[in-house]
Every structure is written in C-alpha cells, then in structure tokens.
Chain A
C-alpha cells in the first residue's frame, strides 16, 4: 500500500471557494445560510464550538438546560407566591381563623 501523503495547504474557506468558482456573493450567502440552518437543526453550534446531540436519549445539552431551568422555577415557592393573584391571597383574618 502506498504511504499517506501529508497535505500542508490550509483549509479552503467558503470565500475562497466562492471566488474560485465565481459564485455571486448573494447566492453564496443564501447557500451558506441554507447549510448552516440545516446544521443548527442537527445540533451543531454554528460559528462556535461543535456540539453533538449525543446526550442520553438523544436530548441535547440545550434541551436538558431548559428542562433544568423549568424544574428550578417550579420548585421555588417564593417565585410561585409572587405570581399569585392578590385577590386569592389569604388575609390575616382568614389565617387567624384557620389557625383556631
């Protein structure tokens, strides 16, 4: 078997590719958006670190964060009482009555 050949040339950027092929800027932008949107749906973080949706049971990290956030809100009694309607709060008189 022939040995591998080591490539030293840098990775071609999409701009280089578009320039070489003569793809108009507007079309290049459209194509780029199409691919990036599709990859974002698959769980890749565009323009940043790659993030695979390989957490347990197919749930992405983002999904588990949002879940955790929800649980936190529900478990917080202070937040819950704040959201309560003023007309439904027990008055001091009613509290005293139930305590008896």
Chain B
C-alpha cells in the first residue's frame, strides 16, 4: 500500500477532481473525522472537507467499483453518531487523538496474513521518519511537511524503514 494525498497531483486540475481521482485509484481510504471542529479565525466555521471526502468514498463504493473499502476514524466514542448520523450502524475506529491510538486502530482495521507490523514496529518506523523530517525539509527548501515533494520523500523513507523493521 502506498499512501496518496491530494497535494501530490499537479495543480492544473481542480482540487475536487484531484481528490475524486485519487479515491478512484485507491483500494482503501481512511477518513479521520476527529478534526471536524470550529477553527479559531472569525467567522468560526467547522471544517467539512473530511466528511465531504468520506461521502465521495461511500458513493464510489456503492455506485462505482464496489471494491473500494473505506474506514472512519474518530477521537471520541459516540461523537460520530451525533455529528454524522447518516453513518449510524458504521462503527468508527476510535484513536483517542493519540499516535498510539492511530497505530492501534490501523492495526485493528487492516490485517495482513504473515508480515503484520506490530504497534511497536510502527513506532520504530514513525521515530525513524520523524528523525528525517529536518533533513528532508532543508533539502526541499521549505518549513512545512504539507507539500507534495516533502510528503513523497517522507513516504518513501517510511517505506524503506518499514521494509527493514517489519520482517
């Protein structure tokens, strides 16, 4: 599995088209709704991007390929039932807003026979990649990880680290 993100697609196309194209290309999608909250800037508004993208994935699974699999993550129990009751009957994976929780829930959601990484191994890969962020940022001449090139290099580094750590 190779992670994809909307920023990696060239900017000529509309963001919406890019996101839908990525969902169509991917077999799995993970939608974290824990950040659907009011921002600080006035007028304070909630961020609806994630639920909107989840809607795309659900539609693609139901009407499109049928082979697409989507997962919903939340930080709190029962919050999804309140914020998005249309998804009642779908249990989200609750990560409690922690890195450990994200690893645990990802391991619960996606299971592989044989070479299945443990949470400890995920931590090892995470630490390894985190340690490489300053060097990669410096080389890319930026200060944010939310850029296509930085994301790709971090993802590549994670792939190399996982290949060595998870055997």
Contact = CB atoms under 8 A, between A and B. Distances in A.
B128 A38 contact: yes
Main secondary structure of the interface of B (DSSP, over half): helix
Interface in A20-55: 20-23, 27-28, 31-32, 34-36, 38-39, 44, 46-47, 49-50
- Quick one: which of B2, B111, B131, B163 has the most chain A CB within 10 A? B163
Contacts, number: 90
Nearest to B114: A11
Interface residues of B, number: 35
Q: Which of A6, A28, A31, A49 has the most CB of B within 10 A?
A: A31
B112 A7 contact: yes
A50 B165 contact: yes
Nearest to A47: B164
B146 interface: no
Contact of A6 (B111, B155, B162): B111
The interface centre, meaning the residue of B115, B155, B164 with most chain A CB atoms within 10 A of its CB, is B164
A18 interface: yes
Contacts of A22: 152
B2 A6 contact: no
Given A1-B108, A39-B161, 18 more contacts: A11-B162, A11-B163, A12-B159, A16-B2, A18-B156, A20-B2, A21-B8, A21-B152, A23-B153, A31-B156, A35-B157, A38-B131, A38-B132, A39-B128, A39-B165, A47-B164, A49-B167, A50-B164
Interface of A: 1-2, 4-7, 9, 11-14, 16-18, 20-23, 27-28, 31-32, 34-36, 38-39, 44, 46-47, 49-50
24 contacts: A2-B91, A4-B111, A5-B28, A5-B71, A5-B111, A7-B112, A11-B115, A12-B159, A13-B163, A17-B156, A18-B156, A21-B156, A22-B152, A31-B132, A31-B157, A34-B135, A35-B160, A35-B161, A36-B164, A38-B131, A38-B132, A44-B164, A44-B165, A49-B167
